[in-house]
Amino acid sequence: MCLTLIIFIFFVVGGAGATSYNGDVSKNDLPDDVYTAPIGGFTQSNVFAEPNSTYDVDYFFYSRGYGPGTVSCNLSAYDRYGYVSNDELTASMDPAVFTIEPGQIYHSQIHVVTGPNFASSAIVHSPMYGHITYNIVIELNVTLQNNTVHYADDTLYIQNEISPGQGVFESDELKIPINDTVIDLHAGDQYLIPVEFHRGSDIGNVSYNISETPLNVTITPSEFIAKSSGQLYPAQLSILADRNLAPGNYSFTLDADGAEGVHSPYSRTFFVNVTAPANMSTQSPLPIAFAIFAVIVAAGICGFCLKRVRGKG
């Protein structure tokens, strides 16, 4: 029994794997309500318009755990000179007020009408591009009952043309720290990597998929709703090599399902070089000292037990 106790202590102290991580992991510590509070957004960020035209843009509201309650929406439109007149643009929303229940998705539509003076105040000379794109900003402000925290406000840009490079900026992006796709890992150890997702346009569900691998790989959260509000959606990728995993080179692919655009690849392949478990000599002095102390204590217990057994004999 004493021998079993000593072996158990060695296993617990010396066999526990270490966890290492990229130094930016802590930056992913955002409020949980980013993933749980009500959220809403337009299905597009920009409308390229002409005078005397009409355009409809969809808006979706995800109640998540909120409800029952009432949602009230208010629109305001302005350009660089201030609020725009009706002969430039009008915007309305239908429905602008609606009652919601938990776990539901609600649809509204923004109706935009440009007038004869749309973009009439655009600046036509620029040293860089020869002209400057004219923007009218439509801001949507959402109010929930009891002033509940939400991520349902959004912004729509009405433009007279596409700005240079605009398609790239509207693309979704999966961000992973540089040099964090090639990893050296002892069997039994864990490595944590911060992952960030940026939605360039639209609103919708994003889910992470991990290819089959002998490694124990998880990502938290693995699924969420993202919108194009400049918000970065953080996650933590965990790579764990089982202590019994044979040394060798392993790989897996992380894919962001639901991402769109051309800015960045949405699947990343990670290469992990697994080596033998770290032995006692490679660990810090504190666990080693604790192990020695534990063995001494265990030996003392064993000696005491033997004396009692001999005394009874």
- Summarize pLDDT for 17-26 with one digit per residue, the tens: 676 655 454 4
pLDDT band at 125 (very low <50, low <70, confident <90, very high): very low
pLDDT at 303: 58
pLDDT at 128: 52
- Summarize pLDDT for 179-217 with one digit per residue, the tens: 788 999 999 999 999 998 888 778 989 999 999 999 999
Phi/psi of residue 67, nearest 5 degrees:
130, 165
- Summarize pLDDT for 88-122 with one digit per residue, the tens: 999 999 999 999 999 999 999 999 999 998 987 66
CA torsion, ordered 218, 220, 223, 226, to nearest 10 deg:
-140
Q: What percent of the chain has pLDDT over 70?
A: 69
- Mean pLDDT on 149-178: 76
For the cut 90, the answer to whether the pLDDT of residue 155 exceeds it is yes
**Pairwise CA distance, residues 132 & 33, whole Å:** 38
Q: Which has the higher per-residue pLDDT, 148 or 24?
A: 148
How many Å from the N-terminal Cα to the C-terminal Cα in the chain?
19
Q: Are 11 and 124 in contact (CB under 8 A)?
A: no
In terms of pTM, does the model score above 0.85?
no
- Summarize pLDDT for 267-285 with one digit per residue, the tens: 889 999 999 998 643 444 4
pLDDT band at 262 (very low <50, low <70, confident <90, very high): very low
- Summarize pLDDT for 7-57 with one digit per residue, the tens: 444 444 444 567 665 545 444 455 568 889 999 999 988 899 999 999 999
pLDDT at 312: 55
Q: How far is CA 15 from the centre of its chain?
A: 33
pLDDT at 39: 94
Mean pLDDT, all residues of the chain? 79
pLDDT at 60: 96
